[in-house]
Amino acid sequence: MTADFSSILVTGGLGFAGSNLTTYLLKQFPQSKVTILDHVDERSDIRRIPSEIRGSDRFSLVIGDLANEKLIETTIKEKKVTTIFNFALSTNVAKSFADPIANARNNLIGVTHLLDAVRKCPDVKVLVHVSSGQVYNPDDEKTELSYLRPTNPAGASQAGCEAMLHSYAMSYRLNIKIVRLTEHVFGPMMHEEGEMSKALGDPELLLPSTTLEPLYVEDACKAISLVAGHEGGVAEIFNVGGQSQLSADEFASLVKQIRAGGHDSGVSNKKASLDCTKIRETLKWTPETPIFDGLKITLETNIPSPTVVPRTAKFLVYGGHGWIGTQFTSLLSKEGIPFEVGATRPGTDLDETIVEEIVRVAPSHIVSMVGRTHGPGVNSIAYLEGGPDRLRENMRDNFYAPWLLASLCDRLGIHFTYLGTGCLFQFDEKHTFDGPGYTEEDVGNYTGTSYSVVKNYTDRCLRYFKNTLNARIRLPVNFENSPRNLLISFNKLIDIPNSITILPYCLPILLKMSLDRFTGIFNLVNPGPIRFPQVMEAYKEITGKSLQYEVLKAEEHPEMVSTRAHCILDTSKLEEFFPEVPTAMKGIKEAIRSIL
């Protein structure tokens, strides 16, 4: 059977093997079109695909996760996909031991969503799933008929994926092929965390017991494309690997020889443990690139830093028309990052309507700047005090909307950033005016306003979503003369320290954290608490003018303290990752100069 390569979908296609297969197919089949679907992580890099291909109408990129089944189904139908190659697997052994549940969820649930989308699309002729040799026990014979006895969670989850693939092939008569690819595929622009990349970087660091079975990436691509056209059994399996097994010393010697300008003197004749007899006899495939030549090409090619190219990210911003949301979307525009502002309203519109928008936009990142801090006639959180109607509005916008988005992002494999609040705390015996600030681990203790009570529950609930970043801000300040700005005229000031967020300093940090997929809670405030009288003193220092205001002592006006959250947030965690973050006082002074 000849494969129908008219319209191809490569899932996980911005990874090393997937991007090389994309390039290979477009060069080998001039009439083909390829769509890549990738959720964009640290291993994704669109620069692996030549610019002339990226700029052609034969190539398109969809950002999304396998868990987004509706997006996959929509993409298949809109692109009229006939052939699918799936590379979207987590194969990092160390990470699988660190978080086996996440590894199993990503692999098995992702593949199941892919399969369920494919079964609804009868025009798909074949699905080739690229598994790995990790499904075998290292000490066993490694043929396609061998028992699967993986020794790590990554291999176990891949074996589970193969079982699911077989069940769908049997139950729904889907044409599925499985490639078990060697772990030692190599070529230009490998990700630096890969075993082959590390071995090439400094082969002396290889453990003496290490063995490598190198296969040049173009040979791997040819094998995978041949498997797609094979007419065989149900979920038929093919091993694809190198011909020789090299010890650590042999590999190190070969690398030294290439770097010294030497010539190929041959490599080990020891046969690779991954038995490729079946593909060699059935499809007449053997590796064509000698290990020496492939390594030479790889070493002579500049391998750039494996950072994700920013333009492969796409943001969907809810609350993007608000005061802070507008500043954030302006930053996205300035950085050249594609985005859309959410047209639907989480919490108000039906959940299904929100899902439809997410599927249509296909973002890599969702940001929630949705929140209710004021309303008609009341320009403060006092608006939220009142009867059931205000409580419903408070719960809808400050709890349910971000919770819904976090839940959907968790299910769809999309990174979620929630712009939360630090208005959850109050000073107590442990956290005094001069004492330590509240850390990211602390749970809110201030219940003086309905706003803070609801936000506290939101802060707690979002801790349970593993791909959510919760950035707590406080008393936001920017460099513009705006009614929402903290730096407005006061006539009474309470002398109490507070953490504040200088938005022009902190929003770029928030964007960086989102792009790098930070998760968990961060106190996104500038180092150094501010007392309001200090702001007025800075104003006098800069302008030479004094403002008329009354300073109220906190201990003499407990009612003013209790009606609003006042606290210091610890910035140690933020400074650990972003040591260059400016102090709050520096931002205050710059804001005064800018506004004046």
What does the pLDDT look like over 484-534, one tens digit per residue?
666 554 566 778 899 999 999 999 999 999 999 999 999 999 999 998 888
| Residue pointed to by tokens 């692996």 | 48
The DSSP letter of residue 43 is T
Secondary structure (3-state) at 3: coil
Q: What is the pLDDT of residues 383-394, one digit of tens each?
A: 999 899 999 999
User: With 50 as the cut, is the pLDDT of residue 309 above it?
Assistant: no
Give, in order, the Cα–Cα distances in Å from 448 to each of 129, 376, 559, 561, 562: 56, 22, 10, 9, 6
- In whole angstroms, give the CA distance from residue 45 to residue 19: 8
pLDDT at 485: 65
Are 237 and 265 in contact, with CB atoms under 8 Å apart? Answer: no
d(CA 154, CA 93) in angstroms, rounded, equals 6
State the Cα–Cα distance between residues 431 and 497, nearest whole angstrom.
11
pLDDT at position 451 over 90: yes
Domains 7-188+216-243+273-287 and 313-482+499-529+566-581 share a fold: yes
Is pLDDT above 90 for 108?
Answer: yes
Over 50: is that where the pLDDT of 421 sits? yes
Helix, strand, or coil here: 360? helix
Of 210, 219, 211, nearest in space to 293 by CA:
219
Question: 480 or 424: whose pLDDT is higher?
Answer: 424
> Quick one: angle between helices 450-461 and 388-395, nearest 10?
30
Record the tokens describing residue 298, joined without a space.
Answer: 């790889």
Q: How confident is the model at residue 58 (pLDDT cuts 50, 70, 90)?
A: very high
Structural contact between residues 337 and 315, judged by C-beta atoms closer than 8 angstroms? yes
Residues 6 or more apart whose CB falls under 8 angstroms from that of 282 comprise 230, 232, 238
Q: How far is CA 252 from CA 259, 285, 303, 535, 544, in A?
A: 11, 28, 19, 63, 70
The full DSSP string for 369-405 is ----S-BTTB-SGGGG-SSHHHHHHHHIIIIIHHHHH
Q: Which fold has domain 7-188+216-243+273-287?
A: Rossmann fold (3.40.50)
Nearest to 301 by CA among 93, 50, 77, 38: 50
**How far is Cα 359 from Cα 68, in angstroms, rounded to an integer?**
8
Q: Mind listing the pLDDT tens digit for each residue in 84-105?
A: 999 999 999 999 999 999 999 9
Lowest pLDDT segment from 60-69, 201-210, 544-553: 544-553
**Residue 12: predicted pLDDT:** 96
Could you tell me if 61 and 88 are in contact, meaning their C-beta atoms sit under 8 angstroms apart? no
**What 3-state class would DSSP assign to 126?**
strand
The whole-angstrom separation of Cα 363 and Cα 62 is 9
pLDDT in tens, 124-139: 999 999 999 999 999 9
The domain spans of the chain are 7-188+216-243+273-287, 313-482+499-529+566-581
How many Cβ atoms sit within 10 Å of the Cβ of residue 508? 16
Q: Identify the CATH homologous superfamily for domain 313-482+499-529+566-581.
A: NAD(P)-binding Rossmann-like Domain (3.40.50.720)
490: number of Cβ within 10 Å:
16
Strands in 365-368's sheet, in edge-to-edge order, are 339-341, 315-318, 365-368, 415-421, 468-473, 520-523
What DSSP character marks residue 579? Answer: T
Give residue 435's identity as a one-letter amino acid code: G
Contact of 18 with 36, CB cutoff 8 Å: yes
Average pLDDT score over residue span 352-365: 93
Mean pLDDT, the chain, integer: 91
